[in-house]
Amino acid sequence: MDQLKSPLKKKRILEKIISIIQGLGRELQMNADLLNQAHENSLIDKDLGLDSLGRVELISRLERSFKIELADDVFSQAETINDLLNEIVKASPAPDQLLRYHEKIPGKKNTIKRFPPANIETLLNVLEWHHQHNSQKVHLRFYSDQEIEEGITYQHLYHEAQKISSSLQERGLKDKERVSIMLPTCQEYFFSFFGIMMAGGIPVPVYPPTRPGQLQEHLKRHEKIFNNCQTVFMITTREIHRLGHLLKDHVPEMRSIFTPKDLASPRQLKPNKKLSSSDIAFLQYTSGSTGDPKGVTLTHRNILSNIRCIAKAVKITTNDVTISWLPLYHDMGLIGTWLLSFYYGLLVVLMSPMQFLAKPERWLWAFHRFGGTLSASPNFGYELCLKRIKKEYIEGLNLSTWRVALNGSEPVSPSTIKRFSHFFSSYNFSPTAFTPSYGLAENTVGLTFPPHGRGPLLHHIDRNTLMKKGLFKEINQSSSQSMEVISCGNPIIDHQVRIVDPWDHELPSNQVGKIQFKGPSATPGYFNNPEKTKELYRDGWLETGDLGFIHDGEIYITGRMKDIIIKAGRNIAPQELEEMVGNIPQIRKGCVVVFADKDSINATEKLIIVAEIRELTKQEQSTIIKEIQALTVDLLNVGADDILLVPPHTILKTSSGKIRRASCQQLYQMGKLKTNLNKGPFSWHLPKVEVLWKYVIGRIGHILQVTKNWLYLIYIYPLSFLLLPPLALSIIIAPYQKKWFLIQKGVPIFLKLAGISVRINGLDILKKNPGPCVFVANHSSYLDGPVISSVLKRPVTFIAKKELQKNLIIKWILAPLHTLFVDRYNPEKAIQQISFLKNELKEKAISLFFFPEGTFSRVPGLMPFHMGAFHMASELNLPIIPITIHGTRSILREGELAIPRRGTISITIGEPLICKKSKEDLGKDHWSQAVKLKQLARKTILDHCHEPDLAPKGD
């Protein structure tokens, strides 16, 4: 940088820096007044409003403009423009090539021969198991551009954790007391995490400060978390340790603050505490929470359940290698990346978030160098790679080993996924690696995943239909109303997801509503917060706070009920910021709104602040904007992307005085929310009327829909009581052949009157095959039997589970139809029972009807098939006719039988399936033939049922 020190004066360098900042600010649509007043002592965050992603882009542009390479810590350490100037002057010239990245790291052969046993109960048990079986296996490596550290083995992790455990016990840590960890990504983090657990304490991960100048503000922001969890100790850095006295004055329960070094030399090693699966493993506080903190309680059972389910979803193998830059205080980084890999004995290559943000190509080169296979990132991480990585940075890059690229934690952008796949396909990245997922801390981390290896599933849907009616409707991609939505997959094994209306009644497929879930990974509640825990649960189901719909059994996220703003992977609650900004004297109290807007540049969300003020001079307005920005950074550790000062009575409110954030956001997105204080409030009347009118229309539409649903229930109940009992009684007492006549005539009449239409495909197949056969169909609802009976136009013998005999009404109807009740849990006995029908089948040409799943549930999906139907077809040499039923689950769903709905049922009759037998097969065991028939029938039904395959691979 000699050319910058001598011929080029510092003043000219400073002018160029400011010019680059102003250019970036204009692109980000930042406040023009703040940009125009930039000077050498301007604070990058408080005065200019650049958030972490803005800083990343600024550092990149400075490096390119001055042809230098800045140190990684400039990103976090630089406070002012003058700090940037000094760093630029002393920086090294940019390297011509990035050959240092090309070297592949020869790894030792994976010595993991088997995974921990499935009955292992706690994370501490997992560590002890690995210490016993894989003590020399390298588990963690810390990435750098040049040299690679030896890494941390399971033995090293165990012994260092034991030292910290013993030190904490010596200092008086009692069982189940909370210990906060405020450390960056470093080896001491992992030692501390397990050390606390070994000592019987409960770890509480908390995110560390990123800039030295913010230490005091950072600690102040976390006082609520420390008080909520009643932390007694904190393990942190030397810099924060020096300020510990400030924290202890405001956190009564906190007894001591330590650095990892303070705990590294115990007087005597103490034994590990015994833990159970129901014990709290740690508390997970959502990152960036600004309201009353909610510590998600996670037990060892919760965590191990979620880890095992995720592993099945992504098909973990012993040869997988995890690459991660995610922060360890965040659930995706801590559980979804580290603890998942820890449990299965995988090598984890770690870099800090700052290393990634400074040079995102490092993340990709780590796959090349270590043969990485697994990684996860919020959407903005993939977008950052697209924005920042130039082709010259990745010449020779090979991403062929990357098989799972999880995208979650914030809204998934279809555009980002498509552009990332297209750009990096030249570097052997497989688009099928992309795994858009959905999860939340309240379910440990992961809740839904798409089928492994399928890749993203996108749909173009009608925006108007979605927004106005809350319905999924596919539309041509070229339409102006087309919007793209992406599937986040199916619920993980043993977990359920449902969509409900505001009264918690389950909605049918393709309809938008609240997302609720349940399963073994679900939290018992929020720590020390019974009120919020009560709000979380709804009759055994947990609220996600998100909106979405289910289509073909997969979940699609459409928005959030809560007003949380997700910015660069952090959750920001607007209420506290609104209150703080409203305390500024010149701003009207209670007249501040904070909301999100889409950031098309960074594929995340913008933070928008709108505040009402009375008429002020330009200079006064500029001062207020600076004050709001500084307050925002102090409170949230991120700056606002746009701050608008507007006239009184601009911000829309309800009749009770509550701020209507969604309507204000809509005004902003329409471009009708602009600072124009001179014209007064009258100029805002028209847009307010427009938005108010749209709001009224939307509310009327909602009320009409609710009224329509209630009217249907008022109609359907009398209709059912009027028609169904006489029909059932007639079927019971009528002669056998008449029974089927009554079913075939009566059921369609009832369905038509109930507003349920039935579409049948393949009736000609039935006409072409009038002889005896074995019908098999998927099972979704109690409607299936009556609907199928009315469609087949012939008598059949139903094979039903014997449990139905306990229901007298069903037994009275089915028994006269010659239904055979079998024990589905004893296949051999069931086949023997069916075998008694052989002669009758041949003589009377009667067909059998099976629901091979044996039962049904409210969860969409085709369950495993039992073998009885296929064994019988093979033994009697009868054709299998597969029938697919779609729509009955939504009309009469298990668990919601009291709330039937209108809808459309489709019945698809497949071609007969016959396994041709060779002469060698005749007289032999029919099992192999039956298996082939089952596989063929299952494939046919899966092709038409529009639901996921819930059977284990190979069923």
Distance CA 520, CA 302 (A): 6
| Burial class of 97 by CB neighbour count within 10 A (0 to 12, 13 to 18, 19+) | exposed
- Tell me which residue of 517, 495, 519, 493 sits closest to 506, measured CA to CA: 517
- Tell me which residue of 330, 329, 216 sits closest to 634, measured CA to CA: 216
User: What Cα–Cα distance (Å) separates residue 677 from each residue in 39, 621, 660, 730, 895?
Assistant: 27, 10, 21, 77, 56
Distance CA 266, CA 251 (A): 26
Sign of torsion over alpha carbons 943, 948, 954, 955: negative
Q: What pLDDT is recorded for position 181? A: 95
Asked if 804 and 724 count as a contact pair (C-beta separation under 8 A), the reply is: no
- Tell me which residue of 556, 568, 640 sits closest to 604, measured CA to CA: 568
Asked if 591 and 648 count as a contact pair (C-beta separation under 8 A), the reply is: yes
- Tell me which residue of 494, 463, 639 sits closest to 558, measured CA to CA: 463
Centre a 10 Å sphere on the Cβ of residue 555 and count the other Cβ atoms it contains. Answer: 23
Distance CA 865, CA 857 (A): 14
Polymer length of the chain = 955
**DSSP string computed for 223-249:** HHHHHHHTEEEEEE-HHHHHTHHHHHT
Q: Residue ranges of the alpha helices (H) in 641-684? A: 661-669
| Burial class of 307 by CB neighbour count within 10 A (0 to 12, 13 to 18, 19+) | buried
- Tell me which residue of 881, 737, 835 sits closest to 795, measured CA to CA: 737
pTM of the predicted model, to two decimals?
0.76
- What one-character DSSP code corresponds to residue 947? S
User: What Cα–Cα distance (Å) separates residue 494 from each residue in 310, 491, 507, 519, 539?
Assistant: 12, 8, 21, 6, 18
Could you report the average pLDDT of every consecutive run of 10 residues in the chain (955 residues)? 54 81 73 74 74 73 80 73 79 61 58 82 95 92 71 94 95 94 92 96 87 69 86 90 78 91 89 92 71 86 96 92 92 94 94 87 92 92 88 90 91 88 94 94 94 91 76 83 87 92 84 92 93 90 91 86 62 69 80 79 75 80 85 74 83 67 79 55 42 58 75 87 86 82 88 90 87 88 88 83 71 76 63 61 73 82 84 82 90 77 89 70 64 89 84 62
Strands (E), 526-568: 537-538, 541-551, 554-560, 565-567
- Tell me which residue of 379, 385, 373 sits closest to 486, measured CA to CA: 379
- Tell me which residue of 274, 266, 288 sits closest to 51, measured CA to CA: 288
What residues does 375 pair with on adjacent strands? 405
SS3 645: strand
Query: Strands 554-560, 847-850: parallel, antiparallel or unpaired by DSSP?
Result: unpaired
Distance CA 334, CA 326 (A): 8
Count Cα atoms within 13 angstroms, Cβ side, for 40. Answer: 10
User: What Cα–Cα distance (Å) separates residue 400 from each residue in 98, 429, 706, 711, 713?
Assistant: 20, 6, 52, 57, 56
Q: What pLDDT is recorded for position 655? A: 47
- What one-character DSSP code corresponds to residue 335? I
Query: Strands 513-518, 756-761: parallel, antiparallel or unpaired by DSSP?
Result: unpaired
- Tell me which residue of 233, 150, 163, 232 sits closest to 191, measured CA to CA: 163
| Burial class of 771 by CB neighbour count within 10 A (0 to 12, 13 to 18, 19+) | exposed
**DSSP string computed for 729-751:** HHHHHS-HHHHHHHHHHHHHHHH
Q: Which two tokens mark 896?
A: 């919601």
Count Cα atoms within 13 angstroms, Cβ side, for 863. Answer: 15
Distance CA 632, CA 610 (A): 13
Distance CA 47, CA 213 (A): 14
Q: Which two tokens mark 686?
A: 């028209």
Q: What pLDDT is recorded for position 688? A: 47
**DSSP string computed for 379-426:** HHHHHHHHHH--GGGSTT---TT--EEEE-SSPPPHHHHHHHHHHHGG
Query: Strands 604-613, 295-299: parallel, antiparallel or unpaired by DSSP?
Result: unpaired
CA angle, corner 890, sides to 886 and 893, nearest 5? Answer: 115
